[in-house]
Chain A
Amino acid sequence: MKSLKELDQIREKALEMTRVRQGQGLVKIVVGLGTCGIAAGARDVMAAILDELSKRGLTSVTVSQTGCVGLCDQEPLVDVIKAGEPRVTYGRVTPEVARKIIAQHVINHQVLGEWVIATKEA
């Protein structure tokens, strides 16, 4: 260790790795991982979301899962909840759409209208 700066760089990286333990972030993504969701490919959607967040270093986003909400026909379902914004539910999400959700909705605040099946005021 040659300087405090070097230490800070290692710390930054390490902090990202453990941020999930700081509690819920400002953006929360919920994936439907009931039997219906999994059968419709929610597993791959989840993997794509984690991969995309990881690539972009968006570790402050909380990713969570839920069971069947009764809309089996629309699975895989992905909810994006941002502080102070309506909850947006996307239906029939594919891994590719999931990556778009991260890029456009989570980062650029543009809801992907054609995939939305419901919105709910916060």
Chain B
Amino acid sequence: MEFYRSHVLVCAGTNCSLKGNRAVREALVQEVARRKLDREVKVVETGCFGLCEQGPTIVIYPEGVLYCQTTVADIPEIVETHLLKGRLVQRLLYKEPVATKPVQTAPELDYFKRQVRVVLRNCGLINPEVVEEYLAQGGYQALGKALTTMSPDEVIATIKNAKLRGRGGAGFPTGLKWEFARKAAGSRKYIVGNADEGEPGTFKDRLILEGDPHSVLEGMAIAGYAVGADYGYIYIRGEYTLSIKRLKLAIEQARKLGLLGRDIFGSGFDFDVEIRTGAGAYVCGEETALFESLEGGRGEPRVKPPYPTDAGLFGQPTSINNVETLANVAPIISRGADWFRSLGTERTPGTKVFTLTGDIVNEGLIEVPMGITLREVIYDIGGGTKDGKTFKMAQTGGTSGGCLPQELLDVPMDYDNLAAAGSALGSGALLIMDDTHCIVDVAKCFARFFEHESCGKCVPCREGTMRLYQLVDKITRGEADEGTIPLITALAEMMYKSPLCPLGQTAPLPIMSTLKYFRDEYDAHINEKRCPTGTCKAIAARVQVAD
């Protein structure tokens, strides 16, 4: 066993790698070697730490000092000043927007103070490519506990008791899903990990899989035991190359240790996992379209019922769970349902991982208790809007979620409260926009996205998303009249009810929410032929011609 006096953790998540963390990491390894510190200091690659805006980040233990926005040029100074002389490199410490003193360690940051890390418990703390680091944090203990001391029904009861709800967006009770799949008749049952994270602005599953792949595998194996499935598939986006690489490695490691395979923990339970990659269609995140794609067919949704728990993958009973849901399973089994219910709200216990993007100071990945208000997330954790601009709206739940204005900032973030506000918790994407954006233009982008992604199988969605786009486009061009909004509303009413799958059913939601909360901007476009922010160029050009 190698003992080092210091561990230097470098984020190797996708977001930091876009900012050049690989070069930073290599420079660090070289400099440590050049200073002959390689026997004393260990450089460890970790998954996403969550502070993406400040990347590439480096954390040095045992002190736990956090350095932000590091570059290759900073490395010699970090090695000499911190690792050799034991002093802080003041200029690379994080500075709170309003604080006077730089912050030394991550837990002191406002960004982390409000966070509760269950799903992200190991992200940024362990090297995801070394299984022992996961084991050191108590990894696979829950699987061992479930297999050796609990019956499948007890596992299901625990998950039901914890009131865990699916974190992919729909919020279906996970324990209930497992129970349905367990009770369903079938020659073989399957667990499918849904990692086809297609919602624009969402990147949580990617970073969970990059930062802690074993936590998802462990959750799947426990699900397999509960449901009575001996095989699992992870359906993952093909673009997630780093997640795929780490997952593959994790599966191999787990097989080697006998944590996947035959007779796990001597319990007689067999379970193995295989990765299947998607080709980038948004609709394949929908469970039945995902099955079609996984089976080698065209990614189009099936008519429900039958539901996946009765006839899912290959026509067999299947429990399909989101990556974040699966990552919640092991902690619940280890620490109990009561512990989980102590987090979050009564109806929706636990935490939620959010991805913060848009006009917000701290873009990144966070995990907070359910029920925290939008205001707390945006201002206390996210640091507020960028460049001191005025907040306009926050879209929760990704592109299929609604847009909420200033007045609704105090809405508690959970499935029920957000649905009541005309939005959705969805996948946990949180897009913040300041008042320089034209709401109608934004709505047009949403409509364009759904028109593009509609698979075309059912008419209400194929035609509806196209017409929706055309109508909103007309408004941005100044070609709309008083009949346009009633037409959009009628179309939306039809689309909420008729399409085969949630793609079409939720497509009107973001547009209707902008209509509900920003009607005056629509009126300016339609009645006055004017775009208040000056974004819609077509309307301006049209007015000029008319003049």
The answer to whether B136 and A3 touch across the interface, beta carbons within 8 angstroms, is: no
CB contacts (< 8 Å) of A3 on chain B: these are: 144, 148, 265-266
CB contacts (< 8 Å) of B84 on chain A: these are: 33, 65
B325 CB to closest chain A CB (Å) equals 24
Partner of B3, one of A7, A34, A54, A66: A54
The answer to whether B265 and A14 touch across the interface, beta carbons within 8 angstroms, is: no
Q: Does chain A have a CB within 8 A of B257?
A: yes
CB contacts (< 8 Å) of A57 on chain B: these are: 1
Q: Does chain A have a CB within 8 A of B304?
A: no
CB contacts (< 8 Å) of A21 on chain B: these are: 7, 9, 61-62, 64, 125
CB proximity to B under 8 Å, residues A9-28: 10-11, 13-18, 20-25
The answer to whether A20 and B136 touch across the interface, beta carbons within 8 angstroms, is: no
The answer to whether B86 and A11 touch across the interface, beta carbons within 8 angstroms, is: no
Chain B contact residues (Cβ within 8 angstroms of A): what range?
A: 35 or more
CB proximity to B under 8 Å, residues A56-79: 57, 59, 62-67
The answer to whether B148 and A59 touch across the interface, beta carbons within 8 angstroms, is: no
Given A3-B265, A10-B132, does the pair A64, B62 have CB atoms closer than 8 Å? yes
Given A1-B265, A23-B64, A62-B62, does the pair A16, B1 have CB atoms closer than 8 Å? yes
The answer to whether B5 and A18 touch across the interface, beta carbons within 8 angstroms, is: no
CB contacts (< 8 Å) of A122 on chain B: these are: none
From A13, A20, A53, A54, name the one whose CB has the most chain B CB atoms within 10 angstroms.
A20
A30 CB to closest chain B CB (Å) equals 8
The answer to whether B86 and A67 touch across the interface, beta carbons within 8 angstroms, is: yes
The answer to whether B3 and A1 touch across the interface, beta carbons within 8 angstroms, is: no
The answer to whether B136 and A18 touch across the interface, beta carbons within 8 angstroms, is: yes
CB contacts (< 8 Å) of A65 on chain B: these are: 5, 83-86
B333 CB to closest chain A CB (Å) equals 13
- Please name the 9 residue pairs, one residue from A and one from B, whose CB atoms are nearest each other, closest first: A63-B5, A14-B136, A54-B3, A14-B132, A1-B258, A67-B85, A4-B144, A15-B136, A21-B61
> Could you list 15 examples of A-B contacts with CB < 8 Å?
A1-B144, A10-B257, A11-B139, A17-B1, A17-B136, A20-B5, A21-B9, A21-B62, A21-B64, A22-B62, A33-B86, A34-B85, A50-B3, A64-B6, A67-B86
